[in-house]
Amino acid sequence: MSAPIFHLTTFGCQMNVHDSQWLSQSLEGLGWNQGTENDAGVLILNTCSVREKPEQKVYSHLGRLRDAWLRNPELLVAVGGCVAQQVGEAFFARFPYVRLVFGPDGLPMVPGALARLTREPDLRLSLLDFSESFPERATALPANLGHGAQRQAYVTIMQGCDNFCAYCIVPLTRGRQRSRSREAILTECRELIDRGAHEITLLGQNVNSYGLDAQDKAARQGDPGFPALLDAVAALPGLRRLHFTTSHPKDLSLETIAAFGRHDTLCPHLHLPMQSGSNAVLQAMGRKYTIEYYLDLVMNLRRVRPEIALTTDLIVGFPGETEEDFAATLYAMRTVGFAGSFSFVYSDRPGTRAATMEGKLDKAVKAERLKVLQDLQTELSEDWLHSRVGRRCEVLVEGESKRSSRGLPSCRGRDEFGQTVNFSMPSGLPQELIGNIVPVRIQEAKKHSLWGCVEVVG
């Protein structure tokens, strides 16, 4: 019997991307092969329900698979992630070809479940229970991250969230916060570095509250928390770059901010979701900080690391948002000067407090405000990009660029700020540069990226 062929489609956040990478590596470890959606006999959808649009994409995608199932009744479809946790076994009734649903905590059991389902064609399984502790999973790492790979890696340090913001479905789909053990995190980081990783990103719904799990009082009293974990990872021999995401402003401590001044490996970029610049809206959202507090955090960050690039999340049209509230958001954006942002119109999510709030705004009003906000962000992003012209940066090379300059071959990568940089090489792109860090002098700012030329040392 030939090895099963699988195809994995991922929706949503970086944590979903990381979960999908682990699942792919685990299935390949069982001898399975990755293929296209047309070739695969096992199709896996890793889903996101944080906003309405990604959720609707899942239903649309599943609907399109009906024809494939009619052509191949043995097709096995699995739905995982946050939409699976939210909808659960109702997928079985709506889509007869879905044979596995699994939530984020069920992920460690998915490789075994899929193997069983391929042997038992009449079986359906659901993995939807929440774990009381961090759902640790077996190590599934590529044999070597070097020799042309990007050498970028992600390490999950926690699962779930205890904040229960009024608009957010995460605590309902990923559960309450559970922190991973410090020893397991450091072991995985060391293994990744040993396999050639130059850059590691620590992942969690709210990394700043790592170790402060409300469900585990002993852990809350005995764990040194996120600043100490950050210090330990940043000091690992061989690590060149360290990022972390996502941060909740109310839990961003002065100790964590100070780490940006202690560690050169900690990259000068922070994603710090503001959501709104209005105190009235922030209070209605249940964010537990004021805009003044947020701006104080920005001031402290820039005092410690003046060059730091800040990005954010913004919600437009939250229930009850007035023109004055929206103007306050625009003012705060200008005050901070965000290098970039992810912005969305508010949409009801089932089970959240905001879904039952009064004062819902008309779609046209929300759409117009979003356009105004995104136009402003375009200006701010262009200002930030132009401020980089003439400066030197360190670029982690990802591969050849689709762009060229004066007929010279060019490369692309990301600098220490997380910004895409295209650059020319005087004599083309040696393949051994891919996955390594090279010095680049920025010569030009494009609309969404930077252009430069590699600096020859020596």
Domain ranges (residues) in the chain: 5-127, 392-454
Alpha-carbon dihedral sign for residues 381, 258, 293, 316: positive
**CATH 3.40.50.12160 assigned to 5-127:** yes
Please say if the pLDDT value at position 218 is more than 50.
no
The number of beta carbons lying within 10 Å of the beta carbon of residue 173 is 25
Average of per-residue pLDDT values in the chain: 90
pLDDT in tens, 31-66: 999 999 999 999 999 998 877 777 888 989 999 999
Q: What is the pLDDT of residue 235?
A: 95
Q: What is the pLDDT of residue 77?
A: 96
Q: What is the pLDDT of residue 405?
A: 58
pTM: 0.88
* Three-state secondary structure of the chain: CCCCEEEEEECCCHHHHHHHHHHHHHHHHCCCEECCCCCCCEEEEEECCCCHHHHHHHHHHHHHHHHHHHHCCCCEEEEEEHHHHHHCCHHHHHCCCEEEEECHHHHHHHHHHHHHHHHCCCCCEEECCCCCCCCCCCCCCCCCCCCCCCCEEEEECEECCCCCCCCCCHHHHCCCCEECCHHHHHHHHHHHHHCCCCEEEEECCCHHHCCCCCCCHHHHHHCCHHHHHHHHHHCCCCCCEEEEECCCHHHCCHHHHHHHHHCCCECCEEECCCECCCHHHHHHHCCCCCHHHHHHHHHHHHHHCCCCEEEEEEEECCCCCCHHHHHHHHHHHHHHCCCEEEEEECCCCCCCHHHHCCCCCCHHHHHHHHHHHHHHHHHHHHHHHHHCCCCEEEEEEEEECCCCECCECEEEEECCCCCEEEEECECECCHHHCCCEEEEEEEEECCCCEEEEECCCC
Report residue 131's pLDDT band, with 50, 70 and 90 as the boundaries.
confident
Q: What is the pLDDT of residue 220?
A: 47
Q: Average of pLDDT values for 101-122?
A: 94
CATH number of 392-454, picked from 1.20.120, 3.40.50, 3.40.30, 2.40.50: 2.40.50
- Placement of tokens 């252009």 in the chain: 451
pLDDT in tens, 299-350: 999 999 999 999 999 999 999 999 999 999 999 999 999 999 999 999 999 9
Q: What is the pLDDT of residue 135?
A: 81
- Placement of tokens 């649309």 in the chain: 60
pLDDT in tens, 276-303: 999 999 999 999 999 999 999 999 999 9
